[in-house]
C-alpha cells in the first residue's frame, strides 16, 4: 500500500495568517492527490483534487501544489470558519489511502 | 441532487457481523461510472477506506480488512451494503458511505459523503 505522511498533526494560527500543510507519499503518485476538509461533527468534504484543482464554489484562499511524492496545501489568509481537520488522500492505483490529518485551530 | 444515507444497528456484539446499508437518492446507482464506497473513522482518529463496489458489480477491499469485508449492491433498491464479520472493539467507529468518481482516467476522488453512522462494538 502507498503510505501518506502528513505534517504537522496540528497547528494554531491567527486570523489572516498563511497556513501550510505538507503530505508525503511513500512512492511516486504523480498528481493523484486530493485534499479534504472535515469540520467537527461533519463528514469530510472534497476541497482540492488532482493536487491543485480547487473544487467549484470553494474559496480561492485554499490552494494545493506538488507532484510525485511531495505535496503542499495552503490557506492564504486563515479565516475562523477554516477551523477543521484537513486530510490528504492518494488515488494512484486501486487502493486509496489517507494521511493522518492536520487539525487547524485559530489562535 | 444526489444524497447518501447510512442505516443500520448502532451497537454490534463482539464476534458478530456488522451490517450497514447506504441508500442513494437523486440518481440511479447503476448510472455513470462510480465506485460506491465505505470509509470509517474511529473517534478522534483519521479516515480508513474499507472497500468499494463499482456500478458493474466488481469490488475492491482494503487489504488489512479483506478477509472480513463484503460490499454488495442492490440496484432494485438503489442501495449498497457493507458487511464486516468477526468484529472487535477496534471496529468501533463512525462509518461513512461515499461515492468515488473518476474525474480523469485513473484519477478518482470521494465527492459525495453520507452524514455517517456511529457503530459501537460492545457486549
The predicted pLDDT at position B63 comes to 95
Q: Assign B33 a pLDDT band (cuts: 50, 70, 90).
A: confident
> Is B4 or B102 the better-scoring residue by pLDDT?
B4
Interface contact flag, B49 A96, Cβ < 8 Å = yes
Interface contact flag, B46 A101, Cβ < 8 Å = yes
The predicted pLDDT at position A80 comes to 97
Q: Examine the pLDDT at B31 and tell me if it is beyond 90.
A: no
Per-residue model confidence as pLDDT tens digits over A51-99: 999 999 999 999 999 999 999 999 999 999 999 999 999 999 889 999 9
The predicted pLDDT at position B104 comes to 87
Q: Assign B9 a pLDDT band (cuts: 50, 70, 90).
A: very high
Per-residue model confidence as pLDDT tens digits over A21-43: 999 999 999 999 999 999 999 99
Interface contact flag, B100 A46, Cβ < 8 Å = no
Q: Examine the pLDDT at B105 and tell me if it is beyond 90.
A: no
- Cross-chain CB nearest to A43 (options B49, B96, B106): B96
The predicted pLDDT at position B86 comes to 98
Q: Examine the pLDDT at B69 and tell me if it is beyond 90.
A: yes
Q: Could you tell me what percent of chain B has a pLDDT over 90?
A: 89
What is the DSSP secondary-structure string of B68-123? TEEEEEETTTTEEEEEE-S--GGG-EEEEEEEEEEEETTEEEEEEE---EEEEE--
A interface with B, Cβ–Cβ < 8 A, is 1, 31-32, 34, 36, 42-46, 49-50, 87, 89, 91-92, 94-101
Query: For residue A82, what is the DSSP state?
Result: G
Instruction: Tell me the C-alpha distance between B29 and B18, whole Å.
Output: 23
Interface contact flag, A101 B110, Cβ < 8 Å = no
The predicted pLDDT at position A48 comes to 98
Instruction: Tell me the C-alpha distance between A93 and A33, whole Å.
Output: 11
Beta bridge partners of B73: B80
Instruction: Tell me the C-alpha distance between B39 and B46, whole Å.
Output: 10
The predicted pLDDT at position B5 comes to 98
Q: Assign B55 a pLDDT band (cuts: 50, 70, 90).
A: confident
In angstroms, the Cα distances linking B83 to A89, B3, B67 are 24, 21, 11
3-state secondary structure of B1: coil
The three three-digit cell numbers of residue B61, written as one number: 477491499
Q: Assign A103 a pLDDT band (cuts: 50, 70, 90).
A: very high
Q: Assign B19 a pLDDT band (cuts: 50, 70, 90).
A: very high
**Interface size between A and B, measured as CB pairs under 8 A:** 56
Instruction: Tell me the C-alpha distance between B85 and B69, whole Å.
Output: 7
Q: Examine the pLDDT at B56 and tell me if it is beyond 90.
A: no
Interface contact flag, B47 A44, Cβ < 8 Å = yes
Amino acid at each position: 500500500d502507498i503510505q501518506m505522511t502528513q505534517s504537522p498533526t496540528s497547528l494554531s494560527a491567527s486570523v489572516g495568517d498563511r497556513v501550510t500543510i505538507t503530505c508525503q507519499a511513500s512512492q511516486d503518485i504523480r498528481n493523484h492527490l486530493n485534499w479534504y476538509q472535515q469540520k467537527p461533527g461533519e463528514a469530510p468534504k472534497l476541497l482540492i483534487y488532482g493536487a491543485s484543482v480547487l473544487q467549484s464554489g470553494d474559496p480561492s484562499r485554499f490552494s494545493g501544489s506538488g507532484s510525485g511524492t511531495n505535496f503542499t496545501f495552503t490557506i492564504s489568509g486563515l479565516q475562523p470558519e477554516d477551523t477543521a481537520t484537513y486530510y490528504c488522500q492518494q488515488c494512484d492505483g486501486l487502493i486509496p489511502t489517507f494521511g493522518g490529518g492536520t487539525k487547524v485551530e485559530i489562535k | 441532487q444526489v444524497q447518501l444515507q447510512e442505516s443500520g444497528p448502532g451497537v454490534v456484539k463482539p464476534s458478530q457481523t456488522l451490517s450497514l446499508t447506504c441508500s442513494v437518492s437523486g440518481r440511479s446507482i447503476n448510472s455513470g461510472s462510480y465506485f460506491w464506497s465505505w470509509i470509517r473513522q474511529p473517534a478522534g482518529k483519521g479516515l480508513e477506506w474499507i472497500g468499494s463496489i463499482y456500478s458493474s458489480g466488481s469490488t475492491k477491499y482494503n487489504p488489512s480488512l479483506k478477509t472480513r469485508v463484503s460490499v454488495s449492491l442492490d440496484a432494485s433498491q438503489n442501495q449498497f451494503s457493507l458487511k464486516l464479520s468477526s468484529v472487535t472493539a477496534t471496529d468501533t467507529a463512525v462509518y461513512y458511505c461515499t461515492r468515488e468518481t473518476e474525474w480523469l482516467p485513473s484519477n478518482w476522488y470521494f465527492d459525495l459523503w453520507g452524514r455517517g453512522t456511529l457503530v459501537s462494538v460492545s457486549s
